[in-house]
Amino acid sequence: MILNRYPWWKNLLVFVVVLIAFIYALPNVYGEDPAVQVSGTNAAVVVDQNKVNLIKQTLQTAKIKYDNLQMDNQNLLIRFSSTDEQLKAKEIIQQTLGEDYLVALNLAPATPNWLKSLGATPMKLGLDLRGGVHFLLQVDVDSVVKQKADGDMRSIAQLLRDNHIRYSGLVHDSENNIVLDFRSLDALDKAYSEIQSRFTDFVWVKNTDANSFVMKGSLDPVALQRSHQDIMDQEMNTLRNRVNELGVSEAVVQQQGASRVSVDLPGVQNTTEAKNILGKTATLEFHMVDTEHDLSSAMAGVAPPNTHLYRDEGRPVLLKNEIILRGSSITSATSGFGDDGRASVNVRLGGGGESLFTKTTADNIGKPMAVLFVEVKSDTKNVNGQNVITYRTDKRVISVATIQSALGNSFQITGLTSQEEARTLALLLRAGALPATVTYLAERSVGPTLGKQNIHMGVLSVVVGFSLVVLFMALYYRLMGLIADLALAMNLVLIVAMLSLLGATLTLPGIAGIVLTVGMAVDANVLIFERIREELRNSMGVQASIHAGYERAFSTIVDANVTTLIVAVVLFSLGSGPVKGFAVTLTIGLITSMFTAITGTRAIVNWMYGGRVVKKISIGM
C-alpha cells in the first residue's frame, strides 16, 4: 500500500470545490454601484419602452448622467457613478412618472455578466453595515384568533337558526372556547351533528346531566398553531407591501419567534415616515359588476347612479357601489385547484355579513362579481418646514369572477391565471380580512457613515486576526504551517462563496463569527501537526507519521467541531437577528474549516510528500 496518496477522483473533487468557491466568491470583489430601480405598483402597470424613453429624456434635460440603463425582471435599473446623482435622479423620476410607479434607491452589484450567467451574486449587507432603520414589531395574534372565534360563533348561531334548532345560550369565553346550552337532548344531538362536521377547527364535546344539555368546542392545538402561523404570514406579506411604498429595495421582513416581526429598511433614515406607512391597514370589498348600463358612457365620464368605474389589469369595469361583503367577514383563504384543474382560492366566512352575501349571490347566478383591494395610503408634504402626513383611500380590482351558485360560508374564487396568482390573492384576502395590530417594541437607526465604519472595522478585524494566525503557524510549524495558512485562506474564500450562494445577509455579528472561525480553523491542523510530531519523536517513518497524524486526529477534530456545531444550531434556533447572523457564519465556517483543514491540507501534503521516500519534513520540532 502506498501511503499518503489520494485517488485521482479525490484530487479532482478538491480542485472542483476550490474552483467553484473562487467563482462564487469573486462577485464580492467588484463592489456595488448606486442605482435607481423603477417598477410598477401592480401587474397592470409596467415599465415599457415609452416609459424608458421618457426617463432618458428627463435625465438628459436635468443634466443627470447615468452609467447604464437596463431592464431586469420587468424592472428598470439605472446605474450612477455617485450617490448625489442617484438621489437627484430618484426625485425627478418619481415626479415624472407619478404614484403608479415605485422608484427605489438601490445598490446594484457591479458583477460582470459572465458571472451573473453562472448565478454568482455578492453577499447582502445587513443594516448595521449599510445603514438604515430597524423595527421590531409585536403582532397581536391573540386578538385575531379571538376575532376568528367570534366569527365562528356568529356562524354557528346562523346555522342553528337555519336548521330550526333552538338553543338557550351561546357564549365565547376568554380561552376561545364556544359553549352552547340547549333545553333538550334532542336539540343537543341535532346541533352536534350539524356543527362538528362543519367547524372542524374545534374539538366538540357533549356534556349532559339531569338538568343541562351543554356542548363545548375547544380550538384544536394543531389548528390553533396553523392559525397563528397564517396570521404571521399575512402580517409579513402586508408589511412587505408597505415597505414598497417607501421606495426601499432589498428590505428585509422576517419572523422572530412566535409573534414578532423584524423589519430592516436599508437606506431609510426617516423613522416617522416609516412607522406611519408600516402601520397602515388594508381591507377588501366585494361588489357586483354592473352589466345593465353602458360601459362606454361611464368611460366617457357619465357613470350611472350608484356605480363607479375601475380598472382590472387595464381593462375598464363598472361596479355597483353596494358592498355585498367586507374583508372583515373572511376568516380563512387558501390557494388550491378547482374541479377543472385550474388555480383557485378557497374562502371561508365567519366575521358577519354572510346573510346579505348569500342572498345577493343567489339572486345573481351567472353574473360577474369583483373583489376590491382597499388600502389607506399616506402622503408626506412639507408645510412651513414641518412634515405633514395625510391619508387617502386607494381601491383597485384584484379579481373578477362569474357566480356559479349561491355562495354561503365557504366558496371558491376561480378564473385565476396561475397558481402563483392564486397564492397571492389568498394572502391578500387573508391580510385584508384580518389585519393584526402591531406594536413597536424597538426601533434603531443606523447612519450610512456608521455603516461604512462598521465595514472598515470588521474587515480590519478579519485581516488582523488572519495575519496573526498566519504568522504564528508559519513560524511554529515552518512549511507545514504555510500549508495550513493556504488552507485558512481557502477557508475564507469558501465562507464568502457559501454566504453568497445561500443569499445570506452579512451583519456585524456575522463578521465576528468569521473572525472566530479564522482562529478555530487552524485548531484541526494544530492537532494533526502535533500528532505527526509525536509520531516522529517515537522514531516512526515520515510517511507513517503523516498517515497516523491525519487518521488518529480525525475523531478528536470531529468531536470538537460537532459540539461547537450543536451550540451554533441552538443559537440559530433560539436567537434573534444578530445572534442568528453570528450562528450562520459560525456554522458555515465550521463545515468549510473541516474540509480545508483535513481534506485540503492532506491533498497538498500528499502532493508534496506522498508516494516517495522522504527522510525529513519541515514541521518544526
User: Are 385 and 472 within one domain?
Assistant: no
Model pTM score: 0.58
Q: Among 444, 473, 503, where does a domain finish?
A: 444
Q: What is the 3-state secondary structure (H, E, C) of 363-399?
A: HCCCCEEEEEEEEEEEEEEEECCEEEEEEEEEEEEEE
Distance (Å, whole) CA 241 – CA 487: 45
Q: What are the residues facing 213 on neighbouring strands? A: 182, 208
Percent of the chain with pLDDT over 90: 2
114 in a domain, yes or no?
A: no
Distance (Å, whole) CA 351 – CA 570: 40
CATH number, domain at 49? 3.30.70.260
User: Are 421 and 543 within one domain?
Assistant: no
User: Are 39 and 87 within one domain?
Assistant: yes
User: Are 539 and 567 within one domain?
Assistant: yes
DSSP 220: -
Q: What are the residues facing 378 on neighbouring strands? A: 391
Residue 201 — very low, low, confident or very high, per pLDDT cuts 50/70/90? confident
187 in a domain, yes or no?
A: no
Mean pLDDT across the stretch 306-329?
82
User: Are 397 and 510 within one domain?
Assistant: no
Greater pLDDT, 312 or 391: 312
Output phi, psi for 91, to 5 deg. -65, -45
| b/e map 174-210, b = 16+ CB within 10 Å | eebebbbebeeeebbbbbbebbbeebebbebebeeee
DSSP 3: S
Question: Closest Cα partner for 370 from 347, 401, 393?
Answer: 401
pLDDT at 364: 87
Q: What's the angle, vertex CA 410, arms to CA 409 and CA 411, rounded to 5? A: 125
Task: Give 539-591 as a DSSP string.
Answer: T--HHHHHHHHHHHHHHHHHHHHHHHHHHHHHHHHH--HHHHHHHHHHHHHHH
576 in a domain, yes or no?
A: yes
Which residues, at least 6 apart from 247, have a Cβ–Cβ distance to it below 8 Å? 90, 94, 102, 103, 104, 105
CA distances from 48 to 43, 54, 164 (A): 12, 10, 60
Q: Among 77, 109, 141, where does a domain finish?
A: 109
User: Are 434 and 332 within one domain?
Assistant: yes
pLDDT at 403: 83
Mean pLDDT across the stretch 291-312?
82
Selection from 31-45, 409-423, 553-567 with the highest mean pLDDT? 553-567
pLDDT at 52: 86
User: Are 428 and 465 within one domain?
Assistant: no
pLDDT at 1: 44
Greater pLDDT, 500 or 332: 500
453 in a domain, yes or no?
A: yes
> Which ranges of 212-365 does DSSP label H, i.e. alpha helix?
221-245, 271-278, 295-299, 354-363
Mean pLDDT across the stretch 481-488?
88
* Digit-coded pLDDT (tens) for 571-608: 887 766 677 778 888 888 888 888 888 888 888 888 88
CA distances from 39 to 101, 104, 105 (A): 6, 8, 12
Selection from 245-259, 411-425, 448-462 with the highest mean pLDDT? 448-462
Q: Among 444, 461, 479, where does a domain finish?
A: 444
* Digit-coded pLDDT (tens) for 487-509: 888 988 999 898 888 877 777 88
User: Are 413 and 493 within one domain?
Assistant: no
CATH number, domain at 384? 3.30.1360.200
210 in a domain, yes or no?
A: no
Residue 528 — very low, low, confident or very high, per pLDDT cuts 50/70/90? confident
Distance (Å, whole) CA 250 – CA 267: 10
251 in a domain, yes or no?
A: no
* Digit-coded pLDDT (tens) for 172-199: 777 778 888 888 888 888 888 888 888 8
242 in a domain, yes or no?
A: no
Contact 344, 414 (CB under 8 A): yes
Mean pLDDT across the stretch 302-308?
83
Distance (Å, whole) CA 588 – CA 507: 14
Distance (Å, whole) CA 251 – CA 131: 12
Tally of domains within the chain: 3
pLDDT at 87: 80
Q: Is the pLDDT of residue 480 over 90?
A: no
269 in a domain, yes or no?
A: yes
Mean pLDDT across the stretch 64-76?
80
Structural domain that includes position 504: 8-27+448-609
CB atoms within 10 A of CB 215: 24
User: Are 13 and 53 within one domain?
Assistant: no
* Digit-coded pLDDT (tens) for 13-68: 889 999 999 999 998 888 778 888 887 765 556 788 888 888 888 888 888 888 88
User: Are 338 and 297 within one domain?
Assistant: yes
Question: Closest Cα partner for 498 from 417, 418, 605, 595?
Answer: 595
621 membership: H or E segment, kind and range: none
Distance (Å, whole) CA 65 – CA 59: 7
